[in-house]
Structure 1
Amino acid sequence: MKSQLSEYKPGIEIHANVSNHPEQATFTGWIVITDRTKSDQVRDSRVTPRWATPAKTHEEACRILIQFGRDVLEGRATGGDFVNNG
């Protein structure tokens, strides 16, 4: 499992998690949004999209997931929404 971290805003991070096996031809994954903006607690939310078409590379999957995380944080997407619809 490979992961890519992106800071959305100070204290809010998007972790893209993509499986990565040598024999894989396509890649999918999920995100974890970590919110550290409240000093008294850290909140993690795992969000899994539905993949219309799996990504062809690990990097492409991470890019799609990071954008999906931004869309979730901005209210344009929720878990189960389709990503990579072409």
Structure 2
Amino acid sequence: MKFVVLICLVAVLFTAYAEARPDEATRARLRESGTKLWKAVGEACEKIRAKIRAKVDAYFEKDGLGEKLAEIVEILMKRLQARIEKATEKIE
């Protein structure tokens, strides 16, 4: 009895799969729409990044902090590089 139910279930699932399987034209449209969506998301992220960048630049320009912060970041990067070099020497 269980075997008959299992065979019927497999037949129904196979039929549903065969009916729902997309053809090549549908797959091509799906790929195309996915590409368009990815492009639109990328453009939106780029616009948001540009707006944020403009606001940050305007904020730093207002107080004249741009050059000062660049110098601070440069100093911190040199310190970090020195620490990394020391750590790699200890590892060797």
**Fold shared per TM-score above 0.5:** no
Q: TM-score band (shorter)?
A: under 0.3
RCO higher in 1 or 2 (8 Å CA, sep ≥ 6)? 1
TM-score (norm 2): 0.24
Q: Report the structure, 1 or 2, having the larger helix content.
A: 2
> Looking at CA atoms only, which structure, 1 or 2, has the larger radius of gyration?
2
